[in-house]
Amino acid sequence: MTTATHELDLLIIGAGPVGLYATYYAGFRGLSVGVVDSLPELGGQVTAMYPEKDILDVAGFPVVKGKELVAGLVEQAATASPLYLLGRTATHLVSDEASGTVTVTIGEDEQVVAKAVIITAGIGKFSPRPLPAAEGWMGDGVAFFVPSFDGYVGKDVVIVGGGDSAFDWALALEPLAASVTLVHRRDAFRAHQATVDKVLGSSVRVITNANVAQLMGEGRVTHVEVEHVKTKESETLPAQAVVAALGFVADLGPIQQWGLETDKRHIVVDSTTATNLPRVFAAGDISDYPGKVRLIAVGFGEAATAVNNAAVTINPEAHLFPGHSSEG
């Protein structure tokens, strides 16, 4: 079997917002750059799970939808003329300081030989936490994410969960759906308090200390049975759509086998975003250091830091600080 080999200055593993910004910045530094991601589309978890989500922490944008942010980042990254390797999983990584290269195997018959690598893989491989009552119902009116609001117009929607996603979707669907009910097993929420307050002040019905015990319908869900934990009483709600917003389980997948120092869920980096492996850096949610704050805004800064330090690693005569991108 012939192995296809791509030779680049910099390979970025992860095509989410931080990876896309790192791609742009690599082009700004004059580096040839490639991006690999196991998902088939650019944008990472934002595209896969939250394209309609309002993002509030990006500088210069009081509010921007996930899909609009990704579109802008893709346009910006295009200036670097990147090689995109999408729908492919990086399975192995070998850093060889003697040759000044990092070899990343992609699938079974493809590899990238780069002078440096930046890992921006977000939370790594993720899978949604299951809703026991929804077993066997997926695709029949039950979903884990809401990539588009169109399918919920005029329907009775039950959202299960107490985190940011559950409340964001409740708030977004409230003016479109016939009714929205949010069911949470506790009376305290993990969601941002401002969003919780907005939902509590809307027409959304919030049921706490309760579980969705059963889904009902012929071929497609039409009702759900909600059981109140304290009283053990049950009630039946109309529901042509159920969103199980229970979060997800994440792991680093093959990355755990690459010899990187990790703290189980994240890759440990220093102030330059360097990992313990030569020529390998990490930025965004997948990286960790004392005082880390996991925001997209922070990830953008880490991406620039990673690219600038990678540029010096690739060419020791290069300047760490290249000047401002606004200087023509």
Virtual CA dihedral for 272, 274, 276, 278, nearest 10 degrees?
-120
Distance CA 12, CA 36 (A): 6
- Residue 326 annotated as lining a ligand binding site: yes
Task: Give how far Cα 55 sits from Cα of 17, 41, 46, 146, Å.
Answer: 12, 19, 10, 15
- Residue 21 annotated as lining a ligand binding site: no
Which amino acid, residue 278? P
At residue 93, φ and ψ (nearest 5 deg) are -140, 130
Closest CA to 27 of 303, 216, 242, 293: 303
- Residue 282 annotated as lining a ligand binding site: no
At residue 99, φ and ψ (nearest 5 deg) are -95, -10
- Residue 90 annotated as lining a ligand binding site: yes
Listed in sequence order, the residues at least 6 apart from 213 whose beta carbon sits closer than 8 Å to its beta carbon are 133, 225, 226, 227, 234
- Residue 164 annotated as lining a ligand binding site: no
- Residue 256 annotated as lining a ligand binding site: no
- Residue 50 annotated as lining a ligand binding site: yes
| Binding-site residue set | 37, 45, 50, 90, 126, 285, 326
| Binding-site residue set for FAD | 37, 45, 50, 90, 126, 285, 326
